[in-house]
Structure 1
């Protein structure tokens, strides 16, 4: 499910990469693209990075490799040199033309966050619009939330066929809310889904999700059918089920696979595809984690009567 997308192509050009880097994309806030992209070059051609076109958007970058004595530029001027440690998070305002001298190997995750997505978040949660995002050149943040989100999405970038859209939507929505609160001063709204979904909403949402075990549906599509915002639906669904939609869907896949293994002598590879998994390896990994034994072991024990 990785996509190149316009942002991935632009970022590849800015960093002088030979190929456009892999990206995961969601459009759950105002239908604008939120993107995460992994960039890496172990043998870069030295030179100043390119420029993005100025726009009202931000980059959030999680550094995955040390980059000592990084020469940082803004608005066409070299302003400072800073050591950039692995594990740190940096924020950049694309209106200021952030650039740096590429003269060492680099490895980073970049999250593309347009202002319109932040506005969509505050509209949905009925909170005041986010003002300035704290983008201080050369200032890194020890942000455990972004490290966690980054590690989760990095797995998705490496196994794109196994990554469902609900998971991408959920993680990018969480990232947007975290950036707005931690760096934009947003306070959580009072519009909380304390009671969860109504029974008819729950029934329809579950039927819709179960109709697409492969996970190509987006949160926006499901929420729109219930006439709810994405953020409200995500919270209410979790209140009702105890799980976010993407994890609930994984459980339904496991349940479907158990039903197929219990009544039909099908090859595990066919069961994997029928239950919405990308392949047999994906099926085995998810099933073993959820159930505690491999699919083959579970089926043998089931048919032996234990």
Structure 2
């Protein structure tokens, strides 16, 4: 048995039926990585499938990558109604790849790097995002284009210049600008129409990406 320090991670194989003693108040974040996920990651990397992970059961490891990725998810866990499923999916995929490489010894076999999306695939992906501004799973976009999730994300980024979740955020703000400029809807109605949880959610994202609040932006249009 080993004590865990703040920020450390530990790996457990559920076949071992692991148990832990939580004898002091603490905050923990647990990731469940099924065998099927490791197989899919290895297949996508054109690498042999992972048999077992290399780690000391119960021991804490100072894995900066795992702790950093976990911290990225904390806002989504605090406000799940505002979580972007595309962003969450990317973070979880990154975590799986890191575990596969660091603890599973996975390294891809060299192969030609594919290009971006075909024109019809790019159009279809953007249509799906535009009609689902509230959020669409990257798995659904990939399936519609005939790709695996990881392959689609790379191809989309190569074609568009940004990850799918970033494009979704960009489109939300662009549509919001168009509706605000039209002036027929209130800010709260614009927020609902563009996939934001509420007016404050729109204001936060709008201010972060545009540099001013929706109200200030609209006021500048009239000057």
In 2: Cα distance, 1:88 partner to 1:95 partner: 22
**1:134-149 superposed matches below 5 A:** 134-149=54-69
Shift of 1:210: 1.1
Q: Is the 8 A contact 1:194 1:239 kept in 2?
A: no
- 2:134 aligned with 1:214, yes or no? yes
Q: Does 1:183 align with 2:103?
A: yes
* 1:128 shift after superposition: 1.1
Unmatched 5+ residue regions in structure 1? 1-79
Task: State the distance in 1 between where 2:196 and 2:94 align.
Answer: 24
The residue that corresponds to 2:217 in the other structure is: 298
2:91 to 171, 190, 204: 171
* Cα shift readout 1:245-272 (whole Å, capped 9, x = no counterpart): 1111011000000001111242111111
1:117 matched residue in structure 2: 37
Equivalent pair of 1:261/1:299 in contact (CA under 8 Å): yes
- Deviations 1:34-86, CA, capped at 9 Å, x for gaps: xxxxxxxxxxxxxxxxxxxxxxxxxxxxxxxxxxxxxxxxxxxxxx3x33111
Q: Which residue of 1 aligns with 2:183?
A: 264
Look up the match of 1:280.
Answer: 199
CA contact (8 A) 1:269 1:280 kept: yes
Task: Considering fraction of residues, name the structure with more strand.
Answer: 1
Which among 243, 246, 260 is matched to residue 162 of structure 2? 243
More helix by share: 2
Number of aligned positions between the proteins: 223
Query: 1:191 offset after TM fit, Å?
Result: 5.3
Q: Distance in 1 between matches of 2:111 and 2:122?
A: 19
Structure 2 length-normalised TM: 0.94
Alpha-carbon distance in 1 for matches of 2:98, 2:77: 21
Structure 2 unmatched runs, 5+: none
Q: Is the 8 A contact 1:90 1:138 kept in 2?
A: yes
Question: 2 CA distance for matches of 1:244 and 1:122?
Answer: 22
- Give, in angstroms, the shift of residue 194 of structure 1: 4.6
Q: 1:184 to 1:249 in 2, by over 3 A?
A: same
Aligned counterparts of 2:83 and 2:55: Cα–Cα separation in 1: 31
Aligned residue in 2 for 1:289: 208
Distance 1:193 1:284, change over 3 A: farther
Q: For the structure 1 residues 189 and 267, does the alpha-carbon distance in structure 2 shift closer, same or farther, using more than 3 Å as the test? A: farther
> Matched residue of 2:27: which SS?
strand
TM, length-normalised to structure 1: 0.69
Q: Secondary structure at the match of 2:7?
A: coil
Corresponding residue number in structure 2 for 1:232: 151
Q: 1:189 to 1:161 in 2, by over 3 A?
A: farther
